[in-house]
Amino acid sequence: MHSRNADAGSPSIAILPTTLAKRCLWLLVALIGAACLGVVALRRGEPVNAIWLVAASLAVFAIAYRFYSRFIANFVLRMDATRATPAVLRNDGLDYVPTNKWVVFGHHFAAIAGAGPLVGPVLAAQMGYLPGTLWILFGVVFAGAVQDFMILALSLRRDGRSLGHMLREELGPAPGVVAMFGVLVLMMIVLAVLALVVVKALTHSPWGTFTVAATIPIALLMGVYLRWIRVGRILEVSLIGLVLLLASISYGAHVAASPTLAPLFDFDAKTLAWLLIGYGFCASVLPVWLLLAPRDYLSTFLKIGTIALLALAIFIAAPTLQMPAVTKFIDGTGPVFQGGLFPFLFITIACGAVSGWHAIIASGTTPKLIGNEGEARLIGYGGMLMEAFVAIMALIAAASLHPGVYFAMNAPGALIGNTVQSAATAISQMGFVVTPDELLQTAKNIGETSILSRAGGAPTLAVGMAQLLHNILPGGGMMAFWYHYAILFEALFILTTVDAGTRVGRFMIQEIAGLIHKPLQATESWTGNLLATAICVALWGYFLYQGATDPLGGINTLWPLFGIANQMLAAIALMLATVVVVKLKRQRYIWVPGIPALWLIACTLTAGWQKLTGPISFTAAAAKYAQAAQQGRLLAPAKTIAEMQRIVSNNQVDAALTGVFMLLIVSMLGFSLRTLIRAWNTPTPTAHEEPYVALSSVTS
Amino acid sequence: MMTRSTIANALHQAWKRAVQTARLCCGVPDYDAYLKHLRKHHPERDVPSYAMFFRERQAARYKGTGGRCC
């Protein structure tokens, strides 16, 4: 069956399966998916195997890709395979190059996949595996993948322009500036919270700290090799780097056991935070070829390789989900993060379900590489589905842990104390029976002295991964190796993000500084460079240090801020897509980007409001500490009145920032509605698309 | 029927694609494609060596906006 598109220039497109066999096949996929989802959602009392969850997800993704993404491509975006893309029109052999679609897919996926989809689902597992699973599946199909695909398509029709540029063009200059300010603040929060994940993972872990520190000389060596010895041989040098990394993980066991070496790499959270701040400054000031680029290569390959390894481990080990489907913590009393299912689940799992950050990638390098509009669906929508699958795998790794171990690792010390005895008692009282021995044994298995209160996602995921990998590749003492491998892999690519992000932040700050004093804008100027880098590092460093000294462990405080900011950006991107759909006079499809946009606005504003006022708010925390300080009492972990004051002011800053985010989103909503109503009342299309050029008329 | 040479060809093609993807993930575009583009559109320009091309691209990657996610 074919349906002809009314739009001139669009080819006729098949929207339904053409043969009976194909229809039957899709019906079968739908039935299998429904059956698996039914098992995951409804089976109670006996544990569910992770394979059901994997199968359900794959079926949902297949159906969403086959039907919903095609519907969006054909009707909402009207992607046109005969239309020339920016890569073809502006081919310069460097930035704009028509590239094979699988190559672009790989590039796009590597760019969007980061620590986010691995950490968020692990934190959300405190509510059980079901809420997280459902949000990842429905979120990605109706929001995340829609956002990535639509922003990619918009950019494809606009010479590969950036999100900021498109916002200025379609909504006006003021909203463009407001959104870009939001991006800068979001970036600082992202860098701080990611660096905090590393701090949490390395606190009092000489083995982990040693291996992460070893990446610095390894990267320097790679940088020199790549610059002078074998120029540009990325794969070769990455293999050498990988071998050295694995060797450093092995040697780390020796470091941890040695009474002379271990103290050299044994740091508390505050010291680690300072080390990271200093490191971030150096790494982004040094020439990129020396440290930043080689680490980037290593972390990119390690990331893809480890994701593949995780998938393999889950398929072969087929773990049982030990976490209940739903825990009592959906009421908002969970130890990992406070706040009820709505809205906090939806901001805790950001990347993996929907992530505003992707809108920047989808309007960055990717649209400049696509040779045919017809391929945008695979790359934009398909790439995000794959990211969601990574999030599902992270959720499985966390949910396949003993719940007692999970909560011991993720609950703050204020709730479970500092000993395995106190932790086991506290967690058993929560309803997850665990013995001190089990906690001790887990720590011993992974080669650490303690697993308590290591919130942040990375250590939990690492224990989960280590158990899975140990299942498929048994061997004495190998679990400790795998644990530190997983920690290293996460730390490596988080630190690369921190370095690269600091550089980007530095350029953004230099641009702003250039408005005040022109010479500061020159990126070659050392004064401008050092000054802007220092400001950038100070901005994220402030939040990192705040997290490292936070009474509730930091992640508890900073992750909601990160989630609110990230989902705010996603809401802005989806609002842009909604406005453009109306501007194109396709308003009957306004619900496609419009409903997820409204949903994210509702989630971010509700979460923001609860963090601003009420029992779990930053203001309440500030008031509590201020009151105690006034009475001369000390509340843990503060040891002096000055520290009490600092906790008060940190919470006030967080509250103010939450207010700024809320204001930002309300003003963007106002700007969008204004443009939307105007476009709705205009009888002709008003979107700023570049004119149609036939692909066949352009010679490559 | 697939002959041995077509299989070898397909494997070679797949390897080339994999290398291209891996390099692109690191911000280094396809050198051959760039040379082809230069020869066709800018025959008057000097052709850079792979080493020069690599260094220029490596520096360019970290100049602009962020190319990675959280």
Cα A276 to Cα A198: distance, rounded to the nearest angstrom: 9
Contacts of A106 in chain B (CB under 8 A): 21-22, 24-25
From the DSSP assignment, how many helices (H) and strands (E) are in chain A?
29, 2
Residue A467 maps to a domain: yes
Give DSSP secondary structure letters for A639-682: -SHHHHHHHHHHHHHHHHHHHHHHHHHHHHHHHHHHHHHHHHHS
Q: Which domain holds residue B26?
A: 4-61
Q: For residue A212, is it within any domain?
A: no
Mutate one of A191, A225, A234 to test the B interface: name it (highest B CB count within 10 A): A234
- Alpha helical stretches, state H, B1-70: 4-25, 31-41, 50-61
Classify A44 as helix, strand or coil: coil
Say whether residue A286 is in contact with chain B using an 8 A CB cutoff.
no
User: Are A589 and A203 in contact, with CB atoms under 8 Å apart?
Assistant: no
Question: Residue A504: which pLDDT band, with cuts at 50, 70 and 90?
Answer: confident
Instruction: Kindly tell me if the per-residue pLDDT of A256 is higher than 50.
Output: yes
Q: Which residue has the tokens 């993980």?
A: A249
B66 contact A CB<8A = yes
Nearest-CA distance B69 → chain A (Å): 5
- B30: closest CA of chain A, how far (Å): 8
What's the mean pLDDT in A550-574?
91
Touching B: A residues 209-268, CB under 8 Å: 227, 231-232, 234-235
Q: How far apart are CA A175 and CA A186, in angstroms?
A: 16
CB contact under 8 Å between B67 and A111, yes or no, is yes
Which of residues 622 through 661 in chain A touch B, CB cutoff 8 A? none
Please give the residue range of the domain that contains residue A48. 20-204+267-681
Cis geometry, peptide bond prior to residue B43 (ω within 30 degrees of 0): no
CB-based contact (8 Å) between A180 and chain B?
Answer: no
Strand positions, DSSP E, A577-662: none
Alpha carbon distance A536, A518 (integer Å): 19
- What radius of gyration, in Å, describes the C-alpha atoms of chain A? 25
Q: Find, in chain A, the residue whose alpha carbon is nearest to that of B24.
A: A107
C-alpha of A39 from chain center: 28
From A107, A350, A496, residue closest to B25, measured CB to CB: A107
Of the partner residues A99, A100, A235, the one whose CB lies closest to the CB of residue B22:
A235
Cβ–Cβ gap B26/A369 under 8 Å:
no
- Where does the pLDDT of residue B1 fall: very low under 50, low under 70, confident under 90, or very high at 90 and above? low
Mean pLDDT value of segment A53-63: 96
User: Is residue A497 less than 8 Å (CB to CB) from chain B?
Assistant: yes
Q: What is the mean pLDDT of residues A8-29?
A: 69
Contact between B17 and A100 using a beta-carbon 8 Å cutoff: yes
Please state the separation of Cα A513 from the chain's center in Å. Answer: 29
pLDDT at B2: 62
Residues of chain B with C-beta less than 8 angstroms from the C-beta of A297: 26
DSSP state of B29: -
User: Which position has the token pair 């550089």?
Assistant: A503
CB A327 within 8 Å of CB A126: yes
For residue A249, is it within any domain? no
- Residues with Cβ within 8 Å of A376's Cβ and at least 6 positions away in sequence, in order, are A73, A79, A149, A152, A153, A156, A370
| Residue A147 Cα distances to A140, A414, A690, angstroms | 9, 39, 21
Q: Does A385 touch chain B (CB under 8 A)?
A: no
Say which CATH number the domain at A501 has: 1.20.1740.10
Q: Chain A window 540-569: which residues touch B at a Cβ cutoff of 8 Å?
A: 562, 566
C-beta of residue A399 within 8 angstroms of C-beta of residue A408: no
- Domain membership of residue A146 (yes or no) is yes
**pLDDT of A2:** 41
In terms of Cβ atoms closer than 10 Å to its own Cβ (0-12, 13-18, 19+), residue B5 is exposed
Nearest CA in chain A to B66: A504
Contacts of B28 in chain A (CB under 8 A): 232, 234
* Alpha-helical regions (H) of A18-172: 20-42, 50-63, 70-71, 86-89, 101-112, 116-124, 129-139, 145-156, 163-171
- Rounded to the nearest angstrom, the minimum Cα separation between A297 and chain B is 6
Contact between A503 and B62 using a beta-carbon 8 Å cutoff: yes
Domain count along chain A? 1
For A434-457, what is the HEC assignment?
Answer: CCHHHHHHHHHHCCCCCCCCCCCC
Alpha-carbon distance values, A506 to A68, A158, A660 (Å): 40, 27, 22
**In angstroms, how far is CA A654 from the centroid of its own chain?**
20
Q: Which helix (H) or strand (E) holds A608?
A: helix A591-612
CA distance A320 to A323: 9
Rounded to an integer, what is the distance from CA A534 to the centroid of its chain?
A: 25
Above pLDDT 70, what percent of chain A? 97
Is A446 among the domain residues?
Answer: yes
Question: Would B68 be classed as within a structural domain?
Answer: no
- Select from A103, A237, A496, A569 the residue whose CB has the most chain B CBs within 10 Å, as the one to mutate to test that interface: A103
5-44 in B: which are within 8 Å (CB) of A?
A: 17, 19-26, 28-30, 33-38
Nearest to A154 by CA among A79, A92, A87: A79
Q: Which of B28, B33, B60 lies closest to A93 in CB terms? A: B33
Give the pLDDT band (50/70/90) at residue B64: low
- The model's pLDDT over A323-334, given as tens digits with 9 standing for 90+, comes to 999 999 999 999
The pLDDT score that the predictor gives to residue A19 is 83
Contacts 24+ apart (CB under 8 A), A435-443: A438/A402, A438/A404, A438/A405, A439/A404, A439/A405, A439/A408, A442/A402, A442/A405
Residue B65 sits at the chain A interface (C-beta within 8 Å): yes
Q: Would you say A289 and B55 are in contact if contact means Cβ atoms under 8 Å apart?
A: yes
Q: Give the pLDDT confidence score for residue A517 in this predicted structure.
A: 83
Across-strand partners of A49? A320
Q: What is the ipTM of this complex?
A: 0.90
Q: Residue A231: list chain B partners with CB under 8 A.
A: 50-51, 54-55
Which two structure tokens, joined as six digits, stand for A657? 């920032």
Cα B1 from Cα A693, distance rounded (Å): 41
A219 is a domain residue = no
Q: Identify the pLDDT of residue A397.
A: 95
In tens, the pLDDT along A215-251 reads: 999 999 999 999 999 998 998 999 999 999 999 999 9
pLDDT tens digits for range A93-119: 988 999 999 999 999 999 898 888 899
Q: With beta carbons under 8 A apart, name residues in chain B contacting A103.
A: 17, 20-21, 24
Residue A214 placed within a domain = no
Token look-up 């989902």 returns A567
Determine, yes or no, domain membership for B66: no
- Taking an 8 Å cut-off on Cβ atoms, the answer to whether B59 and A358 are in contact is no
Query: pLDDT tens, A153-186?
Result: 999 999 999 998 999 999 999 998 888 888 888 8
Banded pLDDT at A13 (limits 50, 70, 90):
very low
Judged by CB atoms closer than 8 Å, whether chains meet at B62 and A92 is answered as no
Using CB atoms, which residue from B37, B58, B69 is nearest to A288?
Answer: B58
CB contacts, 8 Å: A232 with chain B: 28, 50-51, 53-55
A94, A104, A357 ranked by CB distance to B70: nearest: A357
Q: Determine the 3-state secondary structure of A13 from DSSP.
A: strand
The identity of residue A516, as a single letter, is I
Structural domain total, chain B:
1
For position A525, what pLDDT does the model report? 78
Question: How far is residue A203's CA from residue A200's CA, in Å, rounded to a whole number?
Answer: 6
Minimal CA–CA distance to A238: which of A287, A305, A168, A178?
Answer: A305
Residue A690 φ/ψ, nearest 5 degrees: -70, 150
A135 Cα to chain B: minimum distance (Å): 19
Any A CB within 8 A of B58 CB:
yes
Largest Cα separation within chain A, whole Å, is: 79
Say whether B69 and A112 touch across the interface (CB within 8 A). yes
**pLDDT, tens digit (0-9, with 9 covering 90-100), for A580-618:** 999 999 999 999 999 999 999 999 999 999 999 989 999
Residue A316 amino acid letter? I
pTM flag (> 0.90): yes
Average pLDDT over residues A87-96: 92
Chain mean position to CA B25: 10
Cβ–Cβ contact A432 with B under 8 A: no
Please name the residue of chain B whose CA is at the shortest distance from the CA of residue A562: B70
Q: Which residue of B has its CA nearest to A232?
A: B54
Q: Which among B23, B30, B65 has CB closest to A504?
A: B65
